[in-house]
Amino acid sequence: MNRIHFKHGGFDASEISLGCMRIGSMSNTDAETLIKTCMDEGIDFFDHADIYGGGKSEEVFAKAVGMNATVREKLILQSKCGIRNGQFDFSKEHILSSVEGILSRLQTDYLDVLLLHRPDTLMEPEEIAEAFTTLHDAGKVRHFGVSNQNPGQMQLLGKFLKQPIIANQLQFSITNTGMIDAGLNVNMENSATVNRDGGVLEYCRLHDITIQPWSPFQFGFFEGAFLGSEKFPELNLAIEEAAEKYGVTSTAIAIAWILRHPARMQPIVGTTNIQRIKDLCKASTITLSREDWYKLYRSAGNKLP
């Protein structure tokens, strides 16, 4: 497994991360097997959120790994907070209480990374800065980031933070390419030229913020997996051809397509299928050619100007 460097964090991590949203419904034995498989394949970065399984996912994870000081040193743990029932909440009080709950459920004294889960339009950045400083000074959170935030939102937050933003989770896959479409269609009169996110890709690259693509196998907003879907016959044919060419599975090609981008993204994969984990980790062993990357992009229905 290749490693990526979080420049502002000063640490390296596996270039593929396991998203733990579905672990909460697994048995302890199955969760243990899943996590062990990930670690055997080189994955050491695990992404959580306080809302995953209503907190159950974090509890199951800690039990499955047999959390203790020795185990903790082998893991890079990230969690998210800020989503509540019917609202977002970036208040200092909520952030601090959320982290206490996260640490308790994960049976650890600290998080490597805490992300704000989606934007809160009522956020008061000064209050967030106070919460982050409190957590950092207490040794409870080492690094901080965001999810689904645009450049303006990150700049506003950064004006008050003492700590750098090291990551931004954004939806990105072969079928969800809004992050790059506008950049390929500059000065054009078509729908793809609409810049919907303020140039977040370029902003993150300029400011050394690692992009963590979520739902790398999904199309739309959790509408289903595009692999094998009858809705994407041309794309699946192109993926299958690439899989044969590179000697890997279609699952690996979907991840390799993301890893090929020079932004050095870290995809968050949420599968609980053991064989699929082994298959997709092979994406770290191949590099798609420029021709194959663009062929896959076009086969998803995207048009180049």
> What is the dihedral sign for C-alpha 50, 105, 43, 246?
negative
Look at the block and give the residue holding tokens 């080189």. Answer: 42
Catalytically annotated residue among 52, 203, 246, 297:
52
Q: 279: helix, coil or strand?
A: helix
| Cα separation, 106 vs 78, whole angstroms | 11
Q: How far is CA 259 from the centre of its chain?
A: 12
> Where does residue 83 fall: left (phi above 0), alpha (psi -120 to 50 degrees), or beta otherwise?
beta
**Gap between the Cα atoms of 150 and 161, Å rounded:** 16
Q: Which letter does DSSP use for residue 150 in this model? A: -
Catalytic residue check, 52: yes
Rounded CA separation 98/296 (Å): 41
Instruction: Tell me whether strands 111-116 and 76-81 are parallel, antiparallel or unpaired.
Output: parallel
Bridge partners, 3 (sequence order):
14
Contact criterion met (CB below 8 Å) for 244 and 301 = no
Q: Indicate if the alpha-carbon torsion angle 155, 11, 58, 174 is positive or negative.
A: positive
Catalytic positions are 52
